[in-house]
Amino acid sequence: MKPAAYIVDDDEAIRDALTWLFRSRQVDSRAWPSAESFLADWREALRGCLVLDVRMDGMSGLQLFDLLCERGSRLPVIFLSGHGDIPLAVAAVKKGAFDFVEKPFNDNELVDRVIRAMQSDAARKPAGPEVAAIHVRLTQLTPREREVMERILAGKYNKVIADELNIAMRTVEVHRSRIFEKMGVKSAVELAQLLSGNR
């Protein structure tokens, strides 16, 4: 899977322009006319950078971004916006968007940013059969296990946790074991690092 720029914009003229622009700088690209259509093709393994129009018919760029985040995507996203909407830009970046550029944009500058985004993506963890799985593993935890895990991550002793949840220490120990098992770690320290670096 070669890294590429994934263009999502409902304006064909823009799609074409970007496709041509990227090609001129030796950046592979592929384009979709809507958030929905991209979502259908999206896979965890995609590498490169997503160039995403904020406003589109149907699902908006921001909505798509949210969805991808929920699904554990780490693909850097560069938003394109035709309206100088600061609150929108701020919200997007706070949620973790890589960049936010206004239309009309400077061609060279945009490509530079896309390339930077792609580099940042390449610098990301040697992929992750691991990283991808964290999200999955978290969903495998039962509600009670999540409660216990929170407290483990707070560095509390089993005894204290048992006290807070009004259960026996032994029960906490069992939960603890299950959590470690499900999360594939051997100690609370590993768990903390796994999660601290990934959400």
Partner DNA sequence: GGGACAATTGTGGTTATCCGCAACCGGACG
Partner DNA sequence: CGTCCGGTTGCGGATAACCACAATTGTCCC
**In whole angstroms, what is the distance from residue 95 CA to residue 158 CA?**
34
Q: Which of 16, 170, 193, 197 binds DNA (CB under 7 A)?
A: 170
Q: Which two tokens stand for residue 192?
A: 């903390």
Sole window of 46-54, 111-119, 128-136, 169-177 interacting with DNA (rule: CB under 7 A): 169-177
Nearest to 68 by CA among 43, 104, 51: 43
In Å, how far are 37, 100, 134, 166 from 80, measured between CA atoms?
18, 6, 30, 51
- What residue 84 binds from DNA, a second copy, none (CB within 5 to 8 A, per partner kind)? a second copy
Q: Which is nearer to DNA, 139 or 196 (CB)?
A: 139
**In whole angstroms, what is the distance from residue 182 CA to residue 184 CA?**
5
Q: Which of 17, 132, 167, 195 binds DNA (CB under 7 A)?
A: 167
Please tell me whether residue 139 binds DNA under the rule CB under 7 A: no
**Which residues contact a second copy (rule: CB under 8 A)?**
81, 84, 86-87, 89-90, 93-94, 99-102, 152-155, 185-190, 192-193, 196-197
